[in-house]
Amino acid sequence: MIHSSLAYSNQPSGKDFGIYVPSICVDYRPSEAQDCYEVAPIMCKRDAYEVLSSDGISPLEALQLSFETSYECNTLLRNGEPMGMFGCGYGEDKIYGIPWMLTDGKFKGMTKWGLVHSREWINKIKQRHQILYNYVHNENKQSLRWLKWLGFKFMRSIPNYGFGKRDTFYEFYLVNGGA
């Protein structure tokens, strides 16, 4: 558990990263079904739009589906209160893992903690799979930077992707050389 301060995002459309200052408690734990109901109404607009555009579902439906279909699902906590959920499910075969994360987007003051722990978690998860992959909206700049930092590569741009067939998404992947 790390303590850092948090100034709330002035960027309602996306994730807001800031400077680390000691004072706020950040942690994560295994998710409970109730977490879906707590995170859905606070999901940032960028993540909510991404799940609507890709799958045609609400934030609550996206969280419930992810919770039910992931072999590992965690809830990100700020001062003990849910601020997001993340996890990994199986692809077509267990050699494929599908990592995901949906949050309130308010990461200001938590950047150092988030970068360190997300890389540790990805390194742990990739040991179970030969390939991790998923899709991200092409305008989700903060997620694109974070995924690149984690070592993911972008395979292709897919125009007219998903439910609405009106947005472009990138397919990203990470190959585990040791699997």
Which CATH number is 108's domain given? 3.40.630.30
CA dihedral of residues 94, 39, 9, 123 (deg, nearest 10): -20
Is there a contact between 131 and 97 (Cβ–Cβ < 8 Å)?
Answer: yes
Q: Please classify residue 27 by burial: count the beta carbons closer than 10 Å to its beta carbon, then call 0-12 exposed, 13-18 middle and 19+ buried.
A: middle
- Predicted structure pTM score: 0.84
Split into its structural domains, the chain has a count of: 1
CA distance 57 to 97: 22
Tens digit of pLDDT at every position of the chain (179 positions): 333 333 333 344 455 544 444 567 889 999 999 999 999 999 999 999 999 999 999 999 999 999 999 999 999 998 899 999 999 999 999 999 999 999 999 887 777 777 788 999 999 999 999 999 999 999 999 899 999 999 999 999 999 999 989 999 999 999 997 54
Give the structural domain span for 113: 2-175
